[in-house]
Amino acid sequence: MKRYLILSADERTWKFDRPVIFLGEWCRRYDRKHIWSKMDAVVAKPYGLTISERIKDYASLLEFKNQIYPEIFNILNRVHNANYSHRFWRILTGDWLVRYVDVIYNRVKTLQQCLMNYEISGVSLISNQDYVLAPPDSLSSVLSLDDDYWNGILYEKIVHLNKNNEFIIEYIIDSRKNKFEINEGVDKYFVKKNFIKYFVLKTYNYVAKFLRNEHDALIINSYLPRMEEMKLHLVLGQLPQLWTLNKLVQEVKYDWGFRKNIKIKTSYFGEPLLNFAFEELLIKLMPIVYLEGFKNLSDRVDALSWPEKPKFIFTSNNHDVDDIFKLYASKKVECLCSPYYIGVHGGGYFSYYDNPGNFELVSDKCLTWGFKHGLPQHIPTFIFTTTGMKGKYDKRGGLLLIQMPRYNRDRTWDVYVEMQNYFDKLTKFVKKLDEGPKDNLHIRVHPFAENLGWCEQEKWMEFDSEIKIDNGKVRLKSMISRSRLVIHGYDSTGLPETLSLNIPTLAILQIGFDQLNELSKPCYQVLVDAGIVHLTSESAAAKVNEVWSNVERWWARSVIQEARKQFCDQYARVSHSPARELKNILLNGIL
């Protein structure tokens, strides 16, 4: 049976009078279930969901990236009449390139698989000649990936690149304008949500700038608690600085003619559509700040009041979507050979099969929370986020389940189906709980989940209207302090955090060890053997039921504590002198 293809959640592209096929679950928003549930519809098979498929795609794309990156960097030098090193460009653009190569690959392979497996009668495409797919900056590039309209326009481009279309294409003419301004997201969100804090930081920085030294280290978003970060400044002999993101105030327009003349060429893939897509789309999707807006960005960085000749640069966060910081770091590394140090962002950055990340490859030193996995950049330190804190929990408190957020659509596989499978496994966990722990259960969903259209609270309410849900209104630290047992529903940063604080903890690895690299598996196996980490929902629920009456006694057992300490020695080591320890590492490269 032929079916009409639907590519997005935009219902203007839907057909209600014939059989249809949704390209993916992202087309069927949960809050529109009353509409799509009545249609003669199926959902196309998801792409790349199994671990074996993910690993295969990762290996293939890794080789492709290593081939295409030098060409991209040479193009950037040419269009900007520059001669920067490839490391310079990789610091600035590397995280975007990693993300968007995966995105183009996913969108093309998803469409290809659908066209191969199903008979398609037609498709409706949004046509908007003035809509710009290129995001203004790195932050917007991430936010765009979950925008239905943006994805709809991207799929329209890919459909036209396919030379073998044998179905009717209908067009919906639209004139919607782009909604992002350069760096609008970070700055406006921070001011709106933290106005008093923002005002204090701006006032302090205004006063502190008169006492800065041009050779001060630039430390920004280290992931140390604020007081510990200030201590680090002091032991380095410099006035503590409370750096904030600077907004790019001048809007730079996308230049169609300029980009039309920038060409890349690849024949890496055996599939012509994939090669066409990368040739036609990668440059067109590149953020404006890297092309048309590069001079504006460079001028903004040159006007910063940050140290002119920093003894080193250190962050655990800004290396991804903060373009101002990244260009500052690129320039100082390129021109002054300033050491560039990046701390791991949290859990999972050490354990997955797709390491190393871009941040590990561009840094002089990558500061881990205890491990050294073979890269010369790895310097084992300690867990940053809980440094100086004391673990608090209530031995008579509740049961806290911390749910995994849905990933942005920046993976090679279908994250929507992955999330639905994950949700189903969590409901199995809840069903298996005894009355006592279930009555005391609180589920913490990710505070940004609703913005991604996942409707997590509604899904849980449909499953069980009496379940208690928190979507970020209560501080997670406060929720943990009121719980007797914390369940991490995935391999999260929270796992090493609560283990380092010696808070009774369980974790569920829903897809087992398949996602882990070989170096991390032994440490996780120690936690599995101790009953802290579980590979199924049923096993985790059984452990909760077993220990619920006296969690504290179970947690104090020697086998549990020994397993906890063994894991923490590798992935959540505790330091009793963090500022001095970091000083020795950052200045001398030693513990």
E runs forming strands in 425-580: 441-444, 468-470, 483-488, 505-508, 533-534
Distance, in Å, from the CA atom of 563 to the CA atom of 568, rounded to the nearest integer, reads 9
**Checking DSSP bridges between strand 378-380 and strand 468-470, what pairing results, if any?**
unpaired
Distance, in Å, from the CA atom of 488 to the CA atom of 531, rounded to the nearest integer, reads 13
Contact 83, 89 (CB under 8 A): no
The most confident of the ranges 25-34, 75-84, 372-381 is: 75-84
- Count Cα atoms within 13 angstroms, Cβ side, for 147: 15
- Count Cα atoms within 13 angstroms, Cβ side, for 289: 30
If you compute the radius of gyration of the chain from its CA atoms, what whole number of angstroms results? 25
How many Cβ atoms are within 10 Å of 42's Cβ, its own excluded? 13
Contact 58, 37 (CB under 8 A): no
Q: Which residues contact 469 (CB under 8 A, 6 or more apart)?
A: 442, 443, 445, 456, 457, 460, 461
Q: Which two tokens stand for residue 101?
A: 């190569």
Whether the per-residue pLDDT at 43 is higher than 90: the answer is: yes
Model pTM score: 0.93
Please name the residue that has the structure tokens 């991490």.
Answer: 488
Q: Which two tokens stand for residue 484?
A: 């007797």
Average of per-residue pLDDT across 44-62: 94
Domain coordinates in residue numbering, the chain? 51-181+251-290, 212-244+304-387+578-588, 398-571
Mean pLDDT of the chain: 91
For the chain, first and last CA: distance in Å? Answer: 67
Confidence of residue 182 (pLDDT cuts 50, 70, 90): very low
DSSP string, 353-408: TTPSPHHHHH-SEEEESS---S-TTEEE---STTTT------TT-EEEEEPPPPPP
Contact 97, 144 (CB under 8 A): no
Cα–Cα nearest to 293, from 333, 248, 261: 248
Whether the per-residue pLDDT at 187 is higher than 90: the answer is: no
Q: Which two tokens stand for residue 502?
A: 């010696």
Distance, in Å, from the CA atom of 361 to the CA atom of 86, rounded to the nearest integer, reads 12
Average of per-residue pLDDT across 227-245: 89
How many Cβ atoms are within 10 Å of 52's Cβ, its own excluded? 9
CATH number for the segment(s) 398-571: 3.40.50.2000
- Count Cα atoms within 13 angstroms, Cβ side, for 417: 17
User: Residue length, the chain?
Assistant: 591
Q: Which residues contact 158 (CB under 8 A, 6 or more apart)?
A: 107, 108, 111, 273, 277, 281
Q: Which two tokens stand for residue 217?
A: 């280290």
Q: What is the pLDDT of residues 90-118, one digit of tens each?
A: 999 999 999 999 999 999 999 999 999 99
- Count Cα atoms within 13 angstroms, Cβ side, for 162: 21
Whether the per-residue pLDDT at 180 is higher than 70: the answer is: no
Q: What is residue 188's predicted lDDT score, i.e. its pLDDT?
A: 47
Whether the per-residue pLDDT at 590 is higher than 60: the answer is: no
